[in-house]
Copies of this chain bind each other. A is one copy, B any other.
Amino acid sequence: MAKSDKINFSTPSGFPEFLPSEKRLELYLLDIIRGVFESYGFTPIETPAVERLEVLQAKGNQGDNIIYGIDPILPPSRQGEKDKAKETGSEPRGLKFDQTVPLAAYIARHLNELTFPFARYQMDVVFRGERAKDGRFRQFRQCDIDVISRGELSLLYDAQMPAIITEIFEAVNIGDFLIRINNRKILTGFFQFVGVAESQIKACISIIDNLEKIGEAKVKQSLETEKVLPEQSQKIIDFIKINGSVDEVLDKLNHLATNLPQAEEFYSGVTDLATVITGVRNLGVPENRFCIDLSIARGLNYYTGTVYETSLLGHETLGSICSGGRYEELVGTFLGEKMPGVGISIGLTRLISRLLKAGIINALSATPAQVMVVNIQEDLIPIYLNVSQNLRRAGINVVTNFDKRPLGKQFQLADKQGIQFCVIIGSEEAAGKRASLKDLKSGEQIEVTLENLAVEIKNKLH
């Protein structure tokens, strides 16, 4: 067989793939995340990877993303029939770069088939033509939830988000994390009070959002290039640095709210934040899992109320591991209807890649198999097959080894893949309806009747 040695078979730059042990970790995390999402009644949807370009560009290219357009390429043998054979879809199309624009389109497409408030989760891969650098991928999986309403949307939906984040990251067991909560109305209101021009407020919010990354001096400098006066920017810095326990910060905010003149927006933000915090507490989120951080804004301009970020304590440089917020005008785009929503997103591909690199989580074993039934005698293969099936029926994942190799090599093969148990049956064992069960972790080997084999293994697996 000739080697196609001119072919570069590496993945295109920026398109990652996992080894089995890493993909298994991803599935393990996806199962946990899905379980928590579903426990709060979020229902799954998946939108196609491909949308009309006009849909993808409807809200502008959020965050300057480069969209990938798609175009049919005829097989070389069919180049001649280009016009005739070309697939009928001729409208410009591209790969989705997030799950929010497609959610808006999905709701528009199925408005009368959905129930509102519509709480959906979506864990698809999305595509962004970013320069491949700094752990950024061009294809990655996001785990998003959003609740969308026609009309009012209770702030208690905002309160559920920190409860969901907490459950997920406690289950994943990645160490201490802190959910930082803010409300953009508080920032907008404070900026108004300080005297920042209405037209500059969004830009200024984007700047203070970088406090942690670029530091106080640079934030001040950036604010001043946006025509914020030095004394104004000092007030802003002092404000966003307010800290303390949740109750202390709420007290300070309430105090400010009652003393600021004409601070409707500010007041409304503080009230909303207090309502959300009460909900978070009623949902039983431990006090050490959340705080109020007035410097959190989420760069994206579509957020209008509650915003969240989640830091992994001791690993703050990883950035936020789960973020989101409330928006008003994002999802109704295609219908011309106000549809308030609140949602969070976990950038799973990037998160896994960074957690693995930082040694915070480990990949799983290379196979889901827990047991290898080894092959020491060809004529016993019917027994190996039967024993394997019985173990499977008991819920155990089993590889039957069909290859003729020395027993030691078979143990090695199992061990290399992280298979903990080997079941060994020679003619003597077969005659006595017994098996030897070898635990490759402990090295221990015991004799078990075939009848008790599954139970024995299941006990040892826990």
Contact residues of A with B, CB < 8 Å? 1-20, 23-24, 26-27, 38-55, 57-58, 60-61, 64-78, 85-89, 91, 93-95, 104-106, 108-110, 113-115, 117, 119-120, 125, 127, 129-132, 138-139, 152, 154, 156-157, 160, 163, 279, 282-284, 329, 332-338, 366-369, 372, 381-382, 385-386, 389, 392, 395-400, 402-403, 413, 416-417
Contacts and interface: CB of A to CB of B under 8 A. Distances in A.
Contacts of A389: 163, 283-284
Nearest to A72: B129
A55 B68 CA distance: 19
A334 B64 CA distance: 37
A251 B335 CA distance: 67
Nearest to A392: B39
A283 B385 contact: yes
B12 A51 contact: yes
Given A64-B77, A70-B95, A110 B40 contact: no
Contacts of A5: 336
Sorted nearest first, the 10 A-B pairs with minimum C-beta distance are: A3-B336, A41-B399, A61-B75, A41-B369, A154-B402, A15-B48, A72-B129, A38-B368, A87-B129, A20-B43
A70 B72 contact: no
A456 B49 CA distance: 42
19 contacts: A1-B332, A3-B334, A7-B54, A8-B55, A9-B52, A9-B334, A13-B88, A19-B45, A23-B46, A39-B398, A49-B125, A60-B75, A61-B77, A70-B71, A73-B94, A115-B413, A119-B367, A279-B385, A282-B382
Contacts of A41: 367-369, 372, 397-399
A105 B15 CA distance: 13
Given A115-B366, A156-B400, 6 more contacts: A15-B51, A20-B45, A23-B46, A66-B74, A156-B402, A283-B389
A182 to B, nearest CB: 21
Given A14-B87, A71-B69, A77-B64, A43 B4 contact: no
A44 B27 contact: yes
Nearest to A284: B389
A249 to B, nearest CB: 22
B40 A398 contact: yes
Nearest to A336: B3
A53 B73 contact: yes
Given A138-B89, A367-B41, A397-B41, A334 B7 contact: yes
Contacts of A7: 54-55, 58, 334
A366 B183 CA distance: 32
Given A88-B13, A386-B284, A367 B399 contact: no
**Stoichiometry (number of copies):** 2
Given A279-B385, A413-B115, A417-B115, A402 B48 contact: no
Contacts of A78: 64
A73 B68 contact: yes
Nearest to A338: B1
Contact of A51 (B11, B44, B45, B46): B11
Given A12-B48, A73-B94, A402 B27 contact: no
A227 to B, nearest CB: 22
A120 B335 CA distance: 44
Contacts of A366: 43, 115
Contact of A3 (B39, B335, B385): B335
A139 B338 contact: no
Given A72-B67, A78-B64, A132-B89, A4 B48 contact: no
Contacts of A283: 385, 389
A46 B24 contact: no
Nearest to A337: B1
A31 to B, nearest CB: 9
Nearest to A120: B20
Contacts of A163: 389
B44 A20 contact: yes
Contact of A1 (B65, B73, B336, B396): B336
A375 B202 CA distance: 37
